[in-house]
């Protein structure tokens, strides 16, 4: 991971001062680097981790970073990981344009790998992520969204890059089709579980640990799985209050709404769904060749439910 960080810092350098300022701020913001770690772990399952894997891991992190820069502008977010967002410090225009720079640098680097299959995987993932962003935008303030509608957003917007990260490790090591598919399944299930736990933390996490405020999703009009399940189990005035909070992105009754989502089992249902996805990720990992890297993937899925930020 230190080698990946070195590639990231070297590859983001630009002669344009503002690009360096925004990129350095984002890179130093304390992200988990989970997606690039998955590239390395998946490659380790099938052989030795090499320089080309460091480059691909950096590419995956760049795609993720670009989505964050754009997301914070769209969501009008002021805080991420306990720090001011780039758009708060540098403005929306700078965040969008530097996000474009990071995207394009990722594609420059993936071309350098000279593997058409790698380019196909990452190009498809980037396109699907963009579709997921648009789907989420269409679902804003919609109290009628179904479980399936929301899971589709998760699969597109979040889990697809996890899937690409784990698939890349298999592809670059020329793993069998069966092993590649098992690794991709692991990534998709892990990414889904990761996002579902993120949804849970928005209603019962510790804001000082998460680096963002409780209820931010609701403030932005985002209907996540805890809310969908709460809607299915409320009636009368309480249901009207929840629908009003969704449709108007209002936080006037936020404490009551948070308590309602917890009390009606919305948080518990989302956590149970996340645990089920994590178990499916473990099942997929157990189909892979035995190694310390496979065990690390299993352990990661096992401990995911306990993440606090």
Weakest mean pLDDT among 20-24, 129-133, 155-159: 20-24
Residue range 206-217, pLDDT digits in tens: 655 555 566 778
SS3 66: helix
Predicted confidence (pLDDT) at residue 250 exceeds the cutoff of 80:
no
**In whole angstroms, what is the distance from residue 77 CA to residue 79 CA?**
6
Question: Given this model, what pLDDT does residue 47 score?
Answer: 86
Span 61-78, average pLDDT: 86
Block residue for tokens 């090591």: 173
Instruction: Report the 3 state secondary structure along 119-168.
Output: HHHHHHHHHHHHHHHHHHHHHCCCCCCCHHHHHHHHHHHHHHHHHHHHHH
DSSP 290: P
241 lies in a domain?
yes
CATH label of the domain that carries residue 219: 1.10.600.10
Span 53-72, average pLDDT: 92
Question: Given this model, what pLDDT does residue 26 score?
Answer: 81
Helix axes 2-11, 51-74, angle to 10 degrees: 60
308 lies in a domain?
no
DSSP 26: H
Q: How far is CA 279 from CA 75, 227, 248, 284, in A?
A: 32, 23, 36, 9
Span 282-299, average pLDDT: 96
Question: Given this model, what pLDDT does residue 93 score?
Answer: 92
75 lies in a domain?
yes
307 lies in a domain?
no
Tokens encoding 259: 């308590």
- Domain residues for 55? 2-302
- Give 66's contacts (C-beta < 8 A, 6+ positions apart): 99, 100, 102, 103, 106
SS3 79: strand
Predicted confidence (pLDDT) at residue 157 exceeds the cutoff of 90:
yes
Portion of the chain with pLDDT greater than 90, in percent: 57
E strand segments, 152-292: none
38 lies in a domain?
yes
Question: Given this model, what pLDDT does residue 206 score?
Answer: 63
- Model confidence, pTM: 0.91
156 lies in a domain?
yes
Tokens encoding 63: 């795609």
238 lies in a domain?
yes
275 lies in a domain?
yes
DSSP 49: -
Question: Given this model, what pLDDT does residue 73 score?
Answer: 85
Span 175-195, average pLDDT: 96
**Are 166 and 186 a contacting pair, CB within 8 Å?**
yes
For the chain, the domain total comes to: 1
Residue range 270-289, pLDDT digits in tens: 999 999 999 999 999 999 99
Span 221-246, average pLDDT: 89
Question: Given this model, what pLDDT does residue 207 score?
Answer: 59
Question: Given this model, what pLDDT does residue 81 score?
Answer: 64
Residue range 143-154, pLDDT digits in tens: 899 999 999 999
């Amino acid at each position: 991971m230190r080698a990946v960080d070195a590639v990231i810092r070297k590859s983001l350098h630009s002669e344009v001062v503002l690009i360096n300022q925004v990129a350095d701020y984002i890179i130093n913001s304390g992200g988990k680097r989970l997606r690039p770690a998955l590239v390395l772990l998946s490659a380790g399952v099938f052989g030795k981790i090499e320089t080309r894997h460091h480059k691909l891991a950096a590419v995956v992190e760049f795609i993720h970073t670009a989505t964050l820069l754009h997301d914070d502008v769209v969501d009008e977010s002021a805080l991420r990981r306990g720090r001011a967002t780039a758009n708060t410090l540098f403005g929306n225009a700078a965040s969008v344009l530097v996000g474009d720079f990071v995207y394009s640098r990722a594609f420059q680097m993936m071309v350098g790998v000279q593997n058409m299959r790698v380019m196909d995987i990452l190009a498809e993932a980037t396109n699907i992520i963009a579709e997921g962003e648009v789907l989420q935008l269409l679902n804003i303030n919609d109290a009628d969204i179904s479980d399936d509608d929301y899971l589709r957003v998760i699969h597109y917007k979040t889990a697809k890059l996890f899937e690409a990260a784990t698939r890349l490790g298999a592809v670059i090591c020329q793993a069998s089709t069966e092993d590649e598919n098992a690794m991709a399944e692991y990534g998709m299930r892990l990414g889904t579980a990761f996002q579902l736990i993120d949804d849970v933390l928005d209603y019962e996490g510790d804001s000082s640990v998460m680096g963002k405020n409780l209820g931010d999703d609701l403030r932005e009009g985002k209907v996540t799985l805890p809310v969908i399940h709460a809607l299915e189990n409320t009636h009368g005035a309480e249901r009207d209050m929840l629908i009003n909070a969704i449709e108007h992105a209002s936080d006037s009754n936020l404490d009551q709404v948070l308590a309602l989502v917890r009390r009606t089992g919305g948080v518990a249902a989302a956590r149970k769904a996340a645990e089920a996805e994590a178990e499916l990720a473990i099942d997929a990992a157990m189909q892979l060749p035995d190694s310390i890297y496979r065990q690390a993937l299993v352990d990661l899925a096992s401990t995911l439910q306990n993440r606090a930020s």
